[in-house]
Every structure is written in C-alpha cells, then in structure tokens.
Structure 1
Amino acid sequence: MKQQTRRTPPLYTLWLTCSVCALSLIGAAHAEMKSPYGPDDTLGAINNLSPEKVIQAARLVTEGKTYALGIETGVDTPAYGPRQYQMTIVPLSDGSGTTMGSNQATANDDLMVLWMGIGSQIDGLGHMGVNHVYYNNTHARDFVSTSGLTKFGIHTLPPIVTRGIMLDMTKQLGKDPLPEGTVINRAEIQAAAKAQNLQINKGDVVLLHTGWLNIADSDPDRFMAGEPGLGLDGAQYLASLGVVAVGSDTWALEALPGENPEELFPVHPELLAKNGVYILENMDTRGLAADDVHEFLFVLGQPRFVGAVQAVINPVAIR
C-alpha cells in the first residue's frame, strides 16, 4: 500500500509562520528595552545626571531671570480623552466655616479629583510600553496595580537639575505656529541646533518650541485634534545623544497625525520604554522664545505622589 504524504494545512502553516515571526519581533522589541545601566535599573536616562552636570548648568545663570515652564491648569485646560480637573474647597473645622479656638481662626482646604496627565506634565517610564512590556523588559503584570505602580513611580525620581536647551522650530521652519502634522526629525533638530549655535550633550533636557500652545485657549478643539511634533527618527536621534528628557509646547510631544497612520503614539514607547527618556508635555516655551533664550539652567522637583505614572509639573528655566 502506497504511503500517503501528510500535508500541512495552508492556514496552519501561515499561522505557524506568523507566530514564529511575531515571537521573533517580540524578542527583538524586548532586547531594545534592556537598560544599559543594568537589570535592576528603574531610572533610565536620569542616570546621565551628575553633580558635575549640575555645576556646569548652574554656570549658565548670568541674569537671574526665571521662566515658569508650566501652564495654568484648571477645568478648561484641554486634555486627552477622559482626563479632567475638579477642585472642591472645604472649610476646616466642621465644614460649616465656624471659627476655631479662642483666636477665632478660620481656614480652607482643597479636595482635588485630578488626572495626572493634564496640563504641563512629566510622563514616567511606566506610562507607555510595547505589548505590555515597559522599560528594562518589565512586564505590566510585575509592576502595574490599580493602587499605584510598584516600579517607575514618579516618587522615585530625583530632582532633575541640568542644562536645558530650547530649539525654536518656528524660527527654523519659518511658521508660527507650525501646522499640525509637521514632523521634527534628525535633520530639523540638527539644523536648528546649528542655527542657534548649540550642541546637545549627554544629560541635557531638550525643549521644542512649535508655537502650538498659542492656540490652546483660542481654539482648544484644534489644539487637541492634532499637533506638530517629534518624529520617530528625531526621537531616536535625541535618545542616542543621552538626553534625560524631551519636551515641547504641545500636549503629546509627537507629530499628529503621525508619519505612519497605522501607529498610535510611536514616539512615546520609543523614548520611554526603549530608551528611558522622559517626556515633558505642554511646556510653556513662549517666554524663552520671546527673549531668544536657548540655553539655561533647568530645574524640576516633581511632586512625589507614591506610585504615580505621571505628574502635573511646573519646571523652571533660569538664565
């Protein structure tokens, strides 16, 4: 009897091939997310800070002028998705506003229901990953809890005090604001840095001025519908230079619509998960641009909310 040859069903072959490819891609992606600072690292590019870097940055202060980089945050602040801001003022004592003690002291407290990703903010390394894997090959199941992150919490970050750089992309590209979807990549970054006589160094914080924040009040719907911003190549370039954080005057840092319509926020995991570079959003760079300030002392002492993914911040630039 002639032996029959068993044929593998075409769909199964396709499934098996795709599965092997997917596993290979996942393995490659995870390899990209390994920390160069060791298997226990949870700080990422903050490791590039040093006392020497602080001293060097402090020498940039020659006038003592300060710039608040955080915007005012309130109920009308444009925000992504369901994020919102709610404040309730509560009189102390019994809540009725009665006086306390023989000196008739009165006081108020405030109760806030607040999404941390609203207004000017820092995105921590637990914010975005790839297929549930985050910085340094850390799976979500190993650190994500509804009561707070057990790794990468904002409270674990040291103060970020370093050299800050503002690249004025409106001046470089000749439009203010830059139109939504304008992509800022390596070539644009290098050209702007050269025009402004700047060299981006390891441990720096880089801020991109696009002029987009100017329409947040006048046209909040347009502000949230898209934005100019960083492209994938630009993110990879800045990460390769060893910067600690990248920020801009936009709500998501990266260009929207993006370079690939099938991808959603690709720059976020590129910086956060693959390179440990922090993201600063809604940075108010208007004062720096108006005064033509491109190099300064950057100071951020973020709130230490235990287990927080992100935080509302107000960094300060000092010239």
Structure 2
Amino acid sequence: MKAKHGIAMAVILAATAHGAWAADWYPSQFGPDDEIGAANLLTPDVVRQAAGLVKTGKTYALGVPVSKDLPAFRHRSFKLYNIQPGEQAGQTLGPNRFTFNDELAVAWTGVGTQLNGIGHIGIDNVYYNGNRAVDFVTVEGVKKLGVEKVPPIVTRGVVLDMTAHYGKAIVPGGTEFKVADIQAVLKRQGVTLRKGDVVLFHTGWLELIGKDNKQFLEVEPGIGMEAARWLADQGIVAFGGDTWASEVYPNPSGEEFPVNQFMLAKRGIYNLELIDSRALVRDKAWEFLFVLGQPRYVGSTQVNVNPVAIR
C-alpha cells in the first residue's frame, strides 16, 4: 500500500510540474472553452459609451512605421522586397502598357506596433485557460487562441502620461510603476478606469529609436506585478504603451516577463506594444475611442497593427 501511495504521489507531483494538473488560474471565468479572454468584456454598451467620446472627429494613428531599421525583440526582423512580375528589363503588360508593384514581406509578426494575443505567453508550456502547448501548438500555427478569433477591439482608450508624473522626457529604464503612481496620474488627468478599457502608458521610450537602439531593447520602464494585479482587477481588456514589452524590464524579481505571464496567460488580458502615444499626450487626449481590427492571420499569436484613436 505504501508503495502504491508513493507512486500515486509521484504521478501527481509530475503532472503538477508540467502544468497538467488544474491550477488556480484556470478554467477561465468566461468558461472552460473560452478563447478570447478579456475581449468578452467588449459589450455593445461598452462600445456605445466609448463612441460618445468622439467630439471633434480628430484621428490618431497609434502604430509606428515598420522597416528593416526598426529595433525588435531579440531574434525578430523585418524585410520587405518590391517585386514586379513580368516587368523585367522595362517590359509592360497588355496594349495599355500596364505596370504594377507587389511587395513580399519576410518578417516576424511581432515587429513594430503589435497585438499580443492570449496564446502568445505561457507558464511552463500552459497557456490561457489551461491550454497545454502539446495539445494546440504546431509549426504551422496554434490551433486555439489564435489572433483570428479576437473580435474587433472597440472601446475606451486611456493614455497615462508617465513622463509628466516623473518629470522626465524619457522615463528611465527599470522604473517600476506602482499602483500609487498610476492612481496619481489618473487623478491628475481627471480619469477613472472602467470595465472594458484599454490602458496605455506613455514613457517617451520611442524617442530612443534610431538614437540608442541598444538601450531601447536592454531595459525599459513599465508596470510591475503589483500594478498588473490592480489593473486586471479593474476589468481592463488590454494594457500596453510605447515600450516593447509593456512591463518593467529587467524585472526586479529576476523573472522573465512575469507581468505578461500574469496578464495574458492567467487573466486573458491583451498586450499592445510600441504604441505611438506622442500626439495624444501633446493634445492631452487622455481618453478616446480606441479602434482596432487586426489582420486575421490564422494560427498566429501576435500580429503587427495600427490602432486608431478618435476623439
């Protein structure tokens, strides 16, 4: 009996170590089969309230221009080639001398401004809602949690000007935003968070691109775990800003991107990286209608985007 008990305990411990045993973060509050996480909060009422923010009709492109020169996370790159099929040596097509340009992109989907879906980050090969990598990840894309399943994100966007809070044009890398910092900025800007919001942090970090790409990728300011838990409890749909990971890096704990693990895997909250919030901050447009319809690449867990703010 003791031997059998020991074997049973060993099986339980092994299953737990590999994420096969039920954890306290799944199944999701939206049901065991849910694949869109916090996007479930984007109700018609949320959209209608956000649309009411449009007063002037002014629009803001929140995406950064993407090229081979844009610094990207570790292994990622972007290459674009112009190809003119059948037009070599000055040839044209048809009696009307038709010519055209076509582009071929050889790129990682996580270059530039991007939507990180909830299938992008895991904990020991377990992803949102307890989905195990062995069950849904293939070399040709994921079979669950792909960005093609994410509905249009149309809601209220809120930008928090952390440069004003810290009194610096560029918030120093490694600065961790605490709950008290966020609450202070919200108070100064006269904004209260509500369920369904997209929350973006402006740090001035984009100003380093082309000037100090090394520093840009080695460190960054951002939220830590305390702030992540507080934001998640406010019922936000997505978080992000003008940095490449949307969390303080390196993390003071020594862990690799624990905020992303918590937000995406545990809470189903999306990450929006490299958001160009400079014009919003110049205009003091602290809240606005946020609109995103991402490319629906089947099986991708992240995709480059150009969200739009309207006020």
Amino acid at match of 1:213: L
Deviations 1:181-221 (Å, cap 9, x if unpaired)? Answer: 00012221111111111111110100001111111121111
The equivalent of 1:53 in structure 2 is 46
Kept after mapping to 2: 8 A contact 1:84/1:118: yes
Is 2:196 aligned against 1:207?
Answer: no
Amino acid at match of 1:49: L
Instruction: Provide the C-alpha distance between the structure 1 equivalents of 2:161 and 2:26, rounded to a whole number of angstroms.
Output: 31
Shift of the alpha carbon at 1:152?
1.0
The equivalent of 1:6 in structure 2 is none
Indicate the SS of the match to 2:209.
helix
Shift of the alpha carbon at 1:147?
0.4
Is 2:23 aligned against 1:30?
Answer: yes
Q: TM-score, normalised by structure 1?
A: 0.90
Instruction: Provide the C-alpha distance between the structure 2 equivalents of 1:208 and 1:49, rounded to a whole number of angstroms.
Output: 21
The equivalent of 1:106 in structure 2 is 99
Amino acid at match of 2:256: L
Instruction: Provide the C-alpha distance between the structure 2 equivalents of 1:28 and 1:182, rounded to a whole number of angstroms.
Output: 36
Kept after mapping to 2: 8 A contact 1:92/1:106: no
Structure 2: 5+ residue stretches without partners: 1-5
Is 2:147 aligned against 1:192?
Answer: no
Q: Highest CA radius of gyration, 1 or 2? A: 1
Kept after mapping to 1: 8 A contact 2:15/2:21: no
The equivalent of 1:247 in structure 2 is 240
Deviations 1:258-296 (Å, cap 9, x if unpaired)? Answer: 1212x1111111000000000000000111111111000
Indicate the SS of the match to 2:239.
strand
Amino acid at match of 1:242: G
Q: 1:306 to 1:24 in 2, by over 3 A?
A: closer
The equivalent of 1:72 in structure 2 is 65
Amino acid at match of 1:165: V
Instruction: Provide the C-alpha distance between the structure 1 equivalents of 2:306 and 2:259, rounded to a whole number of angstroms.
Output: 23
Instruction: Provide the C-alpha distance between the structure 2 equivalents of 1:309 and 1:267, rounded to a whole number of angstroms.
Output: 17
Structure 1 vs Structure 2: percent identity of aligned residues? Answer: 47
Shift of the alpha carbon at 1:33?
3.4
The equivalent of 1:314 in structure 2 is 306
Q: 1:54 to 1:190 in 2, by over 3 A?
A: same
Q: TM-score, normalised by structure 2?
A: 0.93
Amino acid at match of 1:105: F
The equivalent of 2:286 in structure 1 is 294
